[in-house]
Structure 1
Amino acid sequence: MTVSISLIKYKYSSKLVEQWRNLGVKVILDEPLISLYRYLTKKVDIAMVTSMVLYLPQSILLPQMPVVMSNGPVRNVLLIPCKKERTVKDTVRLWSTPQSRSGLTLALWYLSYIGFKKIKLLSNKEDADLCLYIGDYARELSYLVEGSIDLGREWFQLTKSPFIYAITVGWKLLRLPFRGYMWKEIIVTSLNDRIYEILENQLEILRNYWYKISLLPDGILGLLLRSA
């Protein structure tokens, strides 16, 4: 039986894709939210998804399978100032790319930590004070936009701990061999006891900031969300 897996289609996944396709694994490359959708609707055997999925009781974390993390700056999770001035000092208006779950939860924690008492999530980035970007586009912006905030760096400076962005989950205990590697600032390594302890601590810190993951439906609406 061919194993199917959904991986997040960012550049850091390229070595993992190559390794598993060479083993005959059916690898599907998706945006983060679609990878999560495929997992929750059981359309794939294994998926790389946001680490925030572990707040859902049906999640099955796979030991010795890949996690994506950074020890400090990551460049793939970025807050960008959208406006030069805010009218209310203790309130911030935040727009987030729809694909982000780990990044959005991290942003909510960070903004609360630095003193914002109210965070308004907006659907229109034109009205936002800060915009959250993730992935390869965020990496490009990190070199171009002055005043951008690398949330991987901020997390590490404030907690002295790595941040785990993505994990591998499945509906049954499967293990596929792979070689860990580092891509730019991003570490792709296997889930072991040490990494699991880091992940547990991270989830505890972020518990009150988790932005609930919604299940994408089948049909036309699901197709629309796929292309968002």
Structure 2
Amino acid sequence: MQKVFAVFILAILLTSCSKSNLIEKDDHKEVYKENLLYRVPGDFDGDEKNENFYVFYDKTGIPMLKVIDDDSKNYVIKLNKRFNNCTTYAVDIDMDNREEILLYTIDDCIKKVYAFSFNDGFLYELLSPEIFSEAVEFKQTKRGYVIECGNLRKEIETSDKLYLNFYSTDFDYSGSNIYFISEGSITSSENCTLFILTIIYKIDSSGKIDFMDIKISSLDTNP
């Protein structure tokens, strides 16, 4: 697979998506030039015409998303997230012939990724650190720990107390498919990294995560 780009994050991606109704606005001055972070064109609703997607701060410093479609309707939504920097992309991540909006943010030196789809005046959040965290289970058992993602399962036999933290996600192409690869560290109570966890998945046409593989690599902790 050819790696397209990598972004470091605390945690990422989903089993279900949330929906927010965008508020239609007639005032196109809602995007203030001095507060505009990014603009990206894309065919987000599959009508073969480009819409424009904006990320900007409102007058109080709250991040906002804005979509202006081809018939000049103006949709705006306020994000319940704060960030200082971001990068946006228009990419069809679920192979539904409509481009999704990828939003990468930097907050306190931590990079996170969000993905949104836009359809009929609704903004669907497909991807976020919170959604991914809910999709991956890391549970203690009698013999150690188990990691569960969808129908996939991996076990670690240990008597030690372990902790899981995700720190990166890669975005790869393989033929016509787009895969996400998230990596995390499994550490001991002494904050020593014992294992590297790799989870490979894609997003299906319904906007849900399809887990492909889980890999656990053991690190040699001997001096």
Q: Larger Rg: 1 or 2?
A: 2
Higher helix share: 1
TM-score with structure 2 setting the length: 0.24
Larger RCO, structures 1/2 (Cα 8 Å, 6+ apart): 1
